[in-house]
Structures are given as C-alpha cells and as structure tokens.
Amino acid sequence: MYSRIFKRIIDIIIVISISPFLCLLFIPITIIIKLEDGGPLFYNAKRIGKNGVTFIMYKFRTMYVNAPDLRRSDGSTVISKNDPRVTKVGRKLRESSLDELPQLINILKGDMSLIGPRPDLEINKDYPEKHYYNLKIKPGITGYTQAYYRNQTTWIQKLEYDKYYVDHLTFYLDLKILIRTILIVVSKKKVYRE
C-alpha cells in the first residue's frame, strides 16, 4: 500500500512544499553555470526507469560541453576529485549534490521518486538476471546506496544494495534513508571514488 499509493503522494507533497525555497537556489545556480562557460544549464541524461522504460533525467550541468564519457571497467561513472572534465562550479555542485535538484521535475512528471534505486544508463549484457526486479519501482534522487555509501561502491554492489531496498521498502526505511542522505551530503563525505 505504501509503495503503490502513499509514496507518490508524499513525493508530491514534499516537492511542492519545498518549491519556494528551491527557487532561491535555482536562480543563482543557473546564473553561475551560465557565467562560467556560457554552456547549457542542464545535462539531460537518458536513464532506465520503472519497468525498463527509458526517460530523460535532468541535472545541472557540471562538466564542460562535449566532455568525454569516462567509465570504469564495471560500467560505473568515473567520479574523481581532480577530474579535468568538471567545471569549478560543477565541482561545488557535485560535492553538495545540488546538481541533482532538477530531478524534482522528474518526480512531478512521475518518472522518479524522492527515494529509490539510482537509475542506470542502460540494461547491458552484464545486468544480472536477479536484479531485473529492481526496475519494478521508480528510481530515486537518493537511495539506500547513496545514503550509506554515496559513491564508494562498484556497480554490482550498488545493484545488491538496490535489491535490499526493494525487498525491504517501507516508510520507515525511506525516512532513515532521507535523514542519512542529508547527513552524508552535509558532511561532504564519500563524494569521490578514486
């Protein structure tokens, strides 16, 4: 009942209630991004959502225009403190996770939830069969992996943590994840995986 109905209602209530505060953040962030290099404000990323449906996930752009896409051998994104592809503003946005704020639009559209597994780029040949059911719920802006490990896991570990979340999804677990996410973002810990 919670995951099918109340989770969506809570998402919408939270996003609408914090919207006035978010406007105060959105305006200066967009101005600073534009002033730094004149490029686009947003990075529109194709992601896999609920039931394997592709959607466009919005983020504030943190890299220079036409920066190459670098991946580790397990398919996870390279997130390094000294990444030359990342702008000065982008580095601050990543460390504070403010680059994720535009995904609140994805929540209102129904593509995402506030809390859930982070969406993958694609389902590739290495996607373990047992993890396909992770796609039965909406992906989230934050999730179990982000709240406890942030960027310190491999792709396979992330899938295992996502599986745990799907198996144990409750309002209480979502509340714990939300609180832990706030704490880990404020502490600026586990941002980079060298």
What is the pLDDT at residue 113? 96
Is the Cβ–Cβ distance between 62 and 56 less than 8 Å? no
Q: CA 120 to CA 155: how far, in whole Å? A: 9
In a domain, 29, yes or no: yes
What is the pLDDT at residue 78? 65
Q: CA 125 to CA 152: how far, in whole Å? A: 23
Q: What is the pLDDT along the chain (194 residues), one digit of tens a residue?
A: 888 889 999 999 999 999 898 888 899 999 999 999 888 999 998 998 998 899 999 999 998 888 777 776 666 666 667 788 889 999 889 888 899 999 999 999 999 999 999 888 776 656 666 667 678 899 999 999 888 887 778 778 888 899 899 999 999 999 999 999 988 888 766 555 55
In a domain, 194, yes or no: no
What is the pLDDT at residue 126? 62
The residue segments making up the domain with residue 62 are: 2-187
What is the pLDDT at residue 8? 95
What is the pLDDT at residue 16? 95
Question: pTM for the complete prediction?
Answer: 0.85
Q: CA 82 to CA 91: how far, in whole Å? A: 9
**Count of domains forming the chain:** 1
Using only C-alpha atoms, what is the Rg of the chain? 16
What is the pLDDT at residue 83? 80
In a domain, 74, yes or no: yes
Q: CA 68 to CA 66: how far, in whole Å? A: 6
What is the pLDDT at residue 127? 63
